Structure 1
Amino acid sequence: MKINIDNLTEKELIELNHRIVERLKFLDSMRAHVEMMEFSIGDRVSFKTNGRERKEGLLIKYNKKTVTVITDQGEKWNISPNLLSRVESSSKRSKPSKVISLNERKSSAPEEAEHKDHLILD
């Protein structure tokens, strides 16, 4: 597709630029949302850190563009979902987890969402 912008004024070009930037942000947000929905709260996941060390943990929260993972060592990481891999079985872990998923609680207020609590052991 070819769009002729040669005849647009500076004001029109600035407006077009703003619309393009907003559209790109929207597409990026939608892509992150789709990637996030491949995982569920409570899934065991793994990811590599900057030092290329592989970490495993429990996905506990969806954020705007990332998910929050509590690692087996009790660390809290906000990770882009495209960097996560699902861990097949928790029984194959080499080290015991320091994170224990507590029972689900339902709020007494119907407008509040169901949530899980997690206990981090030292």
Structure 2
Amino acid sequence: MKIDIDQLTEAELIDLNHRIVERLRFLDQMRAHVEMLEFKIGDRVTFQPPGRGQLEGMLTRYNTKTVTVITDTGQKWNVSPAVLSRVKPTKGTNTAGSNVVPLNNR
């Protein structure tokens, strides 16, 4: 579908611009939503902010375009899900110092 913008009035061009911007925002939000679905609240994740070392923490909240991660040092970061990686748990992971309460199943 081709649109001949040379034939549009200024008002029509402004309207077309608003529609294009809204559509692009919608597509960006959908992309972020799909990326968020790869993670769930409570997942251990890692990411690297620009100019800093790798940070690790727990995903605690979904936002419109980002997720909130609380790092192991207690910092709160709003991060694009596109830059997150899930931390693979290792066997025999020590949960000392975490909020995990081991249950004794008898």
Q: Structure 2-normalised TM-score?
A: 0.84
Structure-1 separation of matches of 2:44 and 2:78: 15
Aligned amino acid, residue 23 of structure 1: R
The structural deviation recorded for 1:13 is 0.4
Q: Where does the alignment leave 5 or more consecutive residues of structure 1 unmatched?
A: 104-122
Determine what percentage of the aligned residue pairs are the same residue: 62
CA deviation vs aligned residue, 1:50-95 (integer Å, no higher than 9, x gap): 22400000000000110000111111110000010000016687xx
Task: Report the equivalent of 1:66.
Answer: 66
Mapping of residues 28-67 of structure 1, within 5 Å? 28-67=28-67
Structure with the bigger percentage of helix: 2
Structure-1 separation of matches of 2:55 and 2:100: 21
Task: Report the equivalent of 1:108.
Answer: none
**Change in CA separation of 1:90 and 1:73 when aligned onto 2, cut-off 3 Å:** farther
Poorly superposed stretches of 4+, deviation over 4 Å:
90-93, 96-99
Q: Structure 1-normalised TM-score?
A: 0.73
The structural deviation recorded for 1:101 is 3.6
Q: CA-atom RMSD, angstroms?
A: 2.4
